[in-house]
Chains A and B, each alone.
Chain A
């Protein structure tokens, strides 16, 4: 008998706000976090559009000797994780007495790598790169830093699954708890926000060039979408066995009832319909629910022409006549990539807990595929008790999570 896995804490740092309360307000108001960064054009970017967020100032919160090993995205992840642990009512003593795991999604640390290579080339002396660079440059920079700062003693691993990293981190964390190998796992996803990390992405013409209207650039499912807008930050969810949560008197927020995954086995960048469909079906089958119980779908839809169309086809195929509200919060945040699978669980949780569905901004005209779905362009004030969240990534990696409200 697999154990039930519940969410008992959440934290977020994104272009929509620096904590759960701010982000919830932005979602409710349908606020876009997208801006134009003219400096990117000077670097030869095709598009200067990006999500905007400030670097958290952790001086005075973490020591110099802790901060020196942290890449940009670790700062976001620290803030999100501190909030999530506080939200879960887990203090340092509780964590120290147990083997709490950490699975965090991250798939680049480009700015740190660039900085160290620039220093090496300039100074011709590797000492000048400094002690922090190696720890900032590795893909596992987030999990290695968070585990040391929060003294986590269970599994300690970074999940790199492109834009599905954060979702897979939660799904795999759930599997570890289901199997009894872990009682509690801190899961999440982080994404650096700087030109180094996405210059090559811009170079393959993946980004929207609607620079005249930054807030209208990310328009998932809309007929006139022309590409994604890069974003970032970090999101953390604390998951644990239902028994653990009850035993310590935690507020049980929701239960993760389904995790589905698949690989397209196809093109490296162009998604198909079959892979996502199988991921959706696996999650629904594992959850053992009637599809009509799903009241909201948080789509992966990034605002790219082919990706959105194929996801719309997959959702329509799987859901048939059941037409729950479907939105992409990327219409507000841009594509948060390695972070997205985790942040979109937090966004959906905030909506579920507060009885609304944030608008799919800029959905002005459907196309042949999105026209078959129920996509609200304005906020819907409605309670729902189960949602499904899709995350897909380069290489054809797909992840789907289903989460059920617990009141």
Chain B
């Protein structure tokens, strides 16, 4: 999967689930601040990404995923169907 398509897919799903404009989802933005979520909401974001891409994000790995860019990179590096 091309990275631009991956980003579009992630952003589309997050915008719909968390009811925000996709234009707010820029690579350098902080995930929790942008989505207006706490640690509980982060669980839903992880579940959404896991469901979309068939991957498993371990809890300890989330420590390194703070921005959308971190998230895109993580998915790109772990998704099998590239």
Contacts and interface: CB of A to CB of B under 8 A. Distances in A.
**Most chain B beta-carbon neighbours within 10 Å: one of A64, A128, A129:** A64
B50 A127 contact: yes
B3 interface: no
A127 B46 contact: yes
A130 B47 contact: yes
B44 A128 contact: no
Contacts of A59: 19
Interface residues of B, number: 14
Interface string A366-396: 0000000000000000000000000000000
Contacts of B19: 59, 63-64
Contacts of B40: 131
A57 interface: no
Interface residues of A, number: 12
Contacts of A68: 41, 44
Contacts of A127: 43, 46-47, 50
Given A125-B56, A131-B40, A64 B18 contact: yes
A130 B50 contact: no
A65 interface: yes
A339 B17 CA distance: 31
Nearest to A60: B19
A63 to B, nearest CB: 7
B44 A130 contact: yes
A221 B75 CA distance: 64
Contact of B47 (A64, A65, A128): A128
Interface in B26-65: 36-37, 40-41, 43-44, 46-47, 50-51, 56
A65 B41 contact: yes
A131 B50 contact: no
A129 to B, nearest CB: 8
Interface in A84-134: 125, 127-132
26 contacts: A59-B19, A63-B19, A63-B36, A64-B17, A64-B18, A64-B19, A65-B37, A65-B41, A68-B41, A68-B44, A125-B50, A125-B56, A127-B43, A127-B46, A127-B47, A127-B50, A128-B50, A129-B47, A130-B43, A130-B44, A130-B47, A131-B40, A131-B41, A131-B43, A131-B44, A132-B44
Interface of B: 17-19, 36-37, 40-41, 43-44, 46-47, 50-51, 56
Minimum-distance CB pairs A-B, first 6? A131-B40, A131-B43, A64-B19, A131-B44, A128-B47, A127-B47
Given A64-B18, A65-B37, 19 more contacts: A63-B19, A64-B19, A65-B36, A65-B41, A68-B41, A125-B50, A125-B56, A127-B46, A127-B47, A127-B50, A128-B47, A128-B50, A128-B51, A129-B47, A130-B43, A130-B44, A131-B40, A131-B43, A132-B44
